[in-house]
Chain A
Amino acid sequence: MSETPRETMEFDVVIVGGGPSGLAAAIRLRQIAPDATVCLIEKGSEIGAHILSGAVIEPRALAELLPHWHEEGAPLNTPVTEEQMLYLTENGGIEIPLLDRVMPHMRNHGNYIVSLGDLCRWLAGRAEELGVEIYPGFAGAEVLVDDSGRVAGVATGDMGVGRDGEPTGNYAPGMELRAKYTLFAEGCRGSLTKQVMAMYNLRQGVDPQTYGLGIKELWEIPKEMHRPGLIQHSFGWPLDDRTYGGAWMYHFGDNLVSYGFVVGLDYPNTWLSPFDEMQRVKLHPSFRPYFEGARRIAYGARALSEGGIQSIPRLTFPGGALIGDTAGFLNVPKIKGTHTAMKSGMLAAEAVGEALATSRVEPGSYTRRIKDSWLWDELRTVRNIRPAFAKFGMKGGALYAGIDAMLLRGRAPWTLHTRHADNEVLEPASVSPKIDYPKPDGKITFDRLSSVFLSATNHEEDQPVHLKVRNMSLWKTVNWDVFRAPESRYCPAGVYEVADEATDPHLQINAQNCVHCKTCDIKDPAQNIDWATPEGAGGPNYPGGM
């Protein structure tokens, strides 16, 4: 189908993805190069529709980008006032004392609890005022490369292609957005980033990227229980010592609570279901009281990068750069990636501004700018914490984190490494202990499908399945025979179902449900699933507050 002539439009810079990194880059570009033409595309139906985050954010990068953000009405309205770290046992929990000293990276004063989707909507408004052209509802589906091997932009996907791959009556071919420089701002595990990394061998010599899956619910809770500014994190129960993760709960806005659970995708037990872990933690006495008589408003899930500085790939290539979480700029112990994503976008914009002026093929100064910035120092300091959890387990890791923070102050002379990608560490069903999850009660805990309903997810039904299984027979011999279909458990949207389990087990893919978290692309044991962009505007429609 790529044979059909596509319309073309030329820009100085094309940015793929309208998250904090892409929007910050767009704004910075127009600030420093007001004549540059900048086009930003976003696969969600609108800016913010696919943004899922905690989110407690550090306003540092925002203040550098838009110093008057406060007067201009940026939606940062709930300052953090109180913070707790809870170690959970099955029926109780203890609050870690002296949090500031033991876990300084968890220090949150000066930070704000926000809806990152709302912040992105606001940033998009600023970007448009500065003359950035923003086109939501269009996914970058293909990387364009010119004869010299330089990335020359992206093409959006064709619309109106049927399930069978043939054009329907409504067929509209994609469009080529050609650019001197292309910034990939796709967030964690970008699908075009994956291609670019392979094309230019960007991961050579760095640790494999590791990931976590965050599953989130937005609740409206009774006023009496609402403590705006309170943030809580937990670790311990219900995860075993080999599994990294924990819950968060942030009180903000108008009686809103952001609740969620992150699981490190290096978990070994194939029976583990991140979704059900998230559900059952709500029943723990430390959290349950907040949910009584409350109303669940929204649901969603998204992977995040956890590899840290050791996993950051080469950042530039001829004709472009990687910014934000698709490059892996997330501070894992802090679980914060917004300020780093924005900072990386701003630095890339500055490098591109320079390259535009000098007509360089590769915006190479980006890497140096990163290494000279506070962003690099920050990530270097915390580089050993997440790997320590992988190496020494949850308790050992916590101990190491304490020592690292109090004694070494992040200046350890060694660097811990991750050797295995997340998909390589899953253990077979026969040796994994089964986990018995409680049934949803329909009031505090829920099943997947009623949850997906609250993500307002949809995809045009008549389109090719966007979850591409490379080799179906491998599914049977590996995923089913060895691991008993882990995708049916880790997928937070019920996309993967095993049909005819007793007679002729095969994989049923409900692509319409997909919330674009990217976990299957990461965790599939045989790396047999590729997440591709579906028709533009498909996917979740996270509401304001998410």
Chain B
Amino acid sequence: MKVLVPVKRVIDYNIKPRVKADGTGVETAGVKMSMNPFDEIAVEEAVRLKEKGVVSEIIAVSIGEAKAQDTLRTAMAMGADRSILVETDVVTEPLAVAKVLKALVEKEKPELIILGKQAIDDDMNATGQMLAGLLDCPQATFASKVEVADGAVTVTREIDGGSQTVKLALPAIITADLRLNEPRYASLPNIMKARKKPMEKITPADLGVDMTPRLSVISVSEPPERKAGVKLDSAAELVSRLRNEAKVI
């Protein structure tokens, strides 16, 4: 069985993004970029399924600028067999990304598509669900456990206050949550080997997808700073304020 894993290149999660002084966006020049952490988890899950013998081939895909090659190389160093770069300089919105992925799914015919639940740059948390909608196939978002057996996949999902289990017929879409696994390092020998794995380069136009964003950015600003509140004299006053003023207890 084939698995498709979309991976996105984002500002490294250790870096606190800095809003540009002119308010047009976030500074990305010279900023360290890495694979979206949830996508690392998605790749890891695919690799584990392959190690279990359930999966035969893992294809990593990234939609973005040429530099997204680095992200695909990382995915291949972690264990993906080959990769596809859909090169575009346009801002990639989940709707357009989902359309690109739909076209690739129709071409590659994977039985599982494992995405990250959310990209940590735009925090949209949408692409997987949208892809599932476009393909009209079942979805399991925020996965914390994945088991494939007898032509179906059983997924435990994180929901508010607990978990839910669903069983999906294949092909199916899964989005990975934090607790699904702890991704492995891309080791140096594997990074060296990944240089030789195949990477195909295409454009959205090749797939007939229009990338024009539906959202336009009017401005990007720093969030307002928190202000110091009041100092109180006693526990009694604190309890009364929390109860009557802030209404949080």
Within 8 Å by CB, do A and B touch in the complex? yes
Residues of A within 8 A of B (CB): 7, 9, 45-46, 48-49, 115, 117-118, 121, 133, 135, 138, 156, 159-160, 169-170, 172, 174-175, 220, 255, 295, 297, 453, 456, 458, 541, 543-545
Q: Which 8 A-B pairs have the closest CB atoms?
A: A544-B30, A7-B189, A172-B187, A175-B188, A458-B14, A159-B185, A456-B15, A172-B185
- A453 lies within 8 A of B185 (CB): no
A453-B16 Cα distance, complex, nearest whole Å: 9
Given contacts A9-B189, A543-B15, contact A118 B21 (CB under 8 A): no
> Which listed residue, B21, B27, B188, touches A138 by the CB 8 Å rule?
B188
> Which listed residue, B15, B21, B182, B191, touches A169 by the CB 8 Å rule?
B182
A453-B15 Cα distance, complex, nearest whole Å: 9
> Which listed residue, B14, B21, B31, B188, touches A135 by the CB 8 Å rule?
B188
Residues in B with CB closer than 8 Å to A156 are: 188
- A170 lies within 8 A of B30 (CB): no
A297-B17 Cα distance, complex, nearest whole Å: 10
Given contacts A117-B30, A159-B185, contact A9 B192 (CB under 8 A): yes
Residues in B with CB closer than 8 Å to A118 are: 30
A117-B32 Cα distance, complex, nearest whole Å: 12
A255-B18 Cα distance, complex, nearest whole Å: 15
B65 interface residue per 8 A CB criterion: no
Given contacts A220-B21, A297-B18, contact A45 B32 (CB under 8 A): yes
Residues in A with CB closer than 8 Å to B191 are: 135
A174-B189 Cα distance, complex, nearest whole Å: 9
- B30 lies within 8 A of A48 (CB): yes
- B12 lies within 8 A of A543 (CB): no
B29 interface residue per 8 A CB criterion: yes
Name which residue of chain A comes closest to B15, CB basis. A456
Residues in B with CB closer than 8 Å to A295 are: 21
B184 interface residue per 8 A CB criterion: yes
Residues in B with CB closer than 8 Å to A545 are: 30
Residues in A with CB closer than 8 Å to B189 are: 7, 9, 175
Minimal beta-carbon separation of B132 from chain A (angstroms): 31
> Which listed residue, B12, B14, B29, touches A544 by the CB 8 Å rule?
B29
Name which residue of chain B comes closest to A75, CB basis. B30
A29-B18 Cα distance, complex, nearest whole Å: 38
Minimal beta-carbon separation of B17 from chain A (angstroms): 10
Name which residue of chain A comes closest to B188, CB basis. A175
> Which listed residue, B14, B29, B182, B184, touches A456 by the CB 8 Å rule?
B14
- B30 lies within 8 A of A175 (CB): no
Residues in B with CB closer than 8 Å to A297 are: 18
